[in-house]
Chain A
Amino acid sequence: MSQIQTWTLVFIVGSFAVYLYIAWRSRVRETAGFYVAGQGIPTIANGAAVAADWMSAASFISMAGLIAFLGSDGTIYLMGWTGGYVLLALLIAPYLRKWGKFTVPEFVGDRYSETVRTIAAVAAIIISFTYVVGQMRGGGIVFSRFLGLDVTGGVIVAALIIGLYAVLGGMKGITWTQVAQYSVLIVAYLIPAIAVAQQMTGFPVPQVSFGQILAELDAISVEMGLNQYTEAFAARPQIDVFLVTMALMIGTAGLPHVIVRFYTTKSVRGARYSAFWALFFIALLYTTAPAVGAFTKLNLLRDVNGVAADALPRWIENWAATGLVTVSDGATTINTVSNNPTSGADLIVNNDILVLASPEIAGLPAPIVGLVAAGGMAAAMSTAAGLLLVISSSFSHDLYFRRVKRDSTDKQRLLVGRIAMGLAVLVSIYAGINPPAFVAQVVAFAFGLAASTFFPAIVLGIFWKRCNATGAAAGMLTGLVFTASYMIYTLPVFGTEANPHIFDISPEGIGTIGAIVNFAVAIVVSKLTAPPPDEIVEMVEGIRYPASRREVTAGT
């Protein structure tokens, strides 16, 4: 126990020192003109930075645990959070790179109007904030386990560290820091996964070897009152699986803090390859996650099946201190396991601990446990820093500068941005302590909102010259209001009653419908109103070609 804490401290402090060192170094170079668009960041490094920026505590800490309990339907997160990159690479990134304006409010502001810019800035703040809450919660779980705090204390510590980091090192030009964070998080994810795969199947490639245990996992799951692991649509109806997957995909393609990253590539071509490298790096983790989920769940179930409540393995006691694992009061032997606190099962295990606990469950040595904790923090921090920057820039640049005070100085804007960032940290502490759902689900809501507001406005802006400001504004507003209303309607947050799902559509999946509504409204309203001015049509035409044409030999 104390050995684990020591190693955790060593890895977390060590990795922090590395990030701060890199941030400090690249800042020095930045003042010498290092930070300018199109400067020497290799495509592959930019890809790794995108991957770190985007893979959050939800991917690292929460996802494999969710998959472990969702079984086959965990697919929604796996495909949903990777498939979006295909859309991003084919439909968005190269064109926005050519456009040259990289925050989403900037793009829609230029393409449509100031009103649309304001709507986009507000939406970007809401989306990024929802997403930050997930990171605080994830970081809080890491600290609560490894510092021996309860989750509330853990969230406060994590939020303060993340906030401090975002203010100090999280300014522009942090690509190299994020490359380092990617390295830490991927190593921390793969090492225990490979070790567990080797231990359980004798073959160290988890992506391949977890097939061997699926039959046993199916059998023991059923025995312990859970769904058969590989059975499709056991946890969610088919239509909902479809809609949630789609919402996560188009949400990924519309996320403000992801799009912003393609700004650091050299060229349009660089943007395409950055998207490739980003997904390549993400896929390393995403193809491992289902294996981690399956291995850990089998280990967990084997460990506790039919075991007396006072003879349970050591890790259960360790995690019980965080309140995220509970043994039912009346249980003498463990016969049922669930992730649902109200299920009445003998052992309740929170999804969010499975990855962090997997080395302990598998009995791996303490340094590996510490490494995983550092990886979880890297994932939470890199994403939270990017998100806090979006909040602060949307607030200071797109709202304050554009709408409130046009003659504000740089200094004033920076101050406003910092205040916005600080407020976001404070509110997210509160929301992180009282989360409306699991980390990955909280994050899924952010994607739903991004899907229903940004994706249609951006895609129409690029591919349909006739789309005008009125149409885009109407579309974004209806999409946002529609999606947010349904989420509030079906979730017990903000003190409201939770209502049953309509047509089996969950709040995570509603973003797809919201996006369709947005598209439809934008198209109809655009058609009914005047076409956009000629110079905008000309701008849209211009972004379709990576460079001006040079002479080529005939016979193309």
Chain B
Amino acid sequence: MSSRVPRPSMDLIGALLVGVAYAFSVVATSLPGRGQSADALDVDPDARVVQVMHWQLEPGFREGLQAIIEAYHDLPHVQAAGVRVEQLAVPNRVYAQILNVHVISGTAPDLCQQGTSTLTGGNAIAQYFEGLGAAVSQPNAYNQPEYLPDGLDPRLVDALANRPWRDTFLNGMQSGWNVNLQDFYSVPTSFAGTKKLFVNESLLQEAKAYLRDAASQSPPPGWYARLLRQRSVQGDAGFVSEDDAYAAWLATGGPPDTLGRFILIGHAIQRLYDGDRDVSVVPIAGSNYSYGIFATNYLTPFTASYAAALDLDYNVSIDSRETWFGWQSGAWSFRDPAIRSYFECLQEISRLFPAGFLGLDREQARRRFVSGQAAMIASGVWDAASIFQAAEGKFEVSVIDFPLPGLGERWADQCGPGENSVSSSGGAQFMVNRSSPNRDWALDFLRFLTSYAANQRFNQHTAWVPIVLGTVSNAEVEAFRPDPRGVSKKSAMMFSGGDVGQIATRYEGELKNYLAGDLTYDEFVERVEAAAADPFNGVDRVWDRYRLKNRDWVRNADASLAVQVARDLLLEHDDAQSRVLRALRRSSLRFNGQVPSWSWHRLYPDQPFPEFP
């Protein structure tokens, strides 16, 4: 006897379709649409609402933005025009879906934060969002002297008032420039991207006192002796050299300024709170979020020295494809001291995380730190306000860089300079909805938000880093200001990424097993290399995909050229001819998508390019 599984009735599906469509039609025909002008809708033209949608739910951001909105409302000409600005804070998890639906239906907010949605990238940007090239080439009206505080350096006043809007940004608004579309499409409101270590000063001092005590014993306790650098024919052990510099550091209350000392502090915390005390404290509030921060930040110092050998397309930037092409061609190996050291370093740091850290999320890690149950946590400036507020009255928090090996310390010979943070990435970048009936006011508010006075005030509220010339950060986030010292992160290898498909999946999984201590290094390497060498889904497949991708890029470049030709011949825009030239550059220097074949030919002149059906 066969049992029948109940299936949804087609009647019901049809009826639901009718209902949904009818409801949508009624709403679409009866409510004011964003694609229609106020005049056409017969509503009060003075009652304009400019909506700003973002996903920054961190404490401080909404309050900071609201403070600027209220200041904007107080401006006489804004009041006279009856303009109101409203913010829509949407959780990150659903931001892309909400934005996509509303952008396509023409009901998107006037200002939308860029990111997460595919419609805020690629050519779609130009379809749905306003090109800002002309606007950012003009001075920002809200940087005129009457809007600036008294006592500013006259040179600063002159620069703010007279430079084009884009040049009043510390990064030249580079993060808003879209090289493919040849225009500015978004305006950053902060600097972003820098990650640091937050340190619980109370626990740090406890750990240092404990280390001082251990160092003063003769002979020192075994756990401490094992952390001291010892080299022998059997191999390296320990992390720090017990030299004068170490002694000087130990004598002070200063934070860990080298990687060895950082690991030493971690072990001291572990010894201090190893179960003999009531409180559970770990050295680092690790989680499935933060292990990646360490993995990313240590990539540059350990792997950037390979950049010149890996840069097959000469774009001065290493991606995941080039990383694995280099593995295949022998440009690097998992047995290289620098590569092995990188992974060993990550594993040593992971040992300072709580047990089962891969099952913990970002918020659980943050709570552990602010409740005083972790000595350190890695995060970005976006968590600064919540961490400082939550720790207030309980313990002091300091912010430090990810430390690098000091002279004589373990890995010092395999590690180069750290990563700089001058990348032009901006934070909370906003785009102007093309179909907004309030485009001018949306742009006006954006000018206000990124004027000297408002941008400083906004970022002081949010405890983020302001991005406008001459602005000053809150003291506690000063450490997050861009630091030019260090190597470009574009020089670092990338073991993972969507471009390397199955290799990335396997790498990510096995890396977690290795960091959790479930695999030895050799086992980890064996598994990852097996994935990379796989004849069907390994590096050969990546080459094939790379060539397909290049053909897509050529078509996209040609489409951009067609657009610039239209701007030149059909719309007769003044800047079109120079943009035609730039678009042609993108197209012609790709050699019709042959760069991968060319690169392969240079590496393996006698072997056919890998082809897959």
Chains A and B form a bound pair = no
Where the two chains meet, the residues of B that have a C-beta atom closer than 8 Å to any C-beta of A are: none
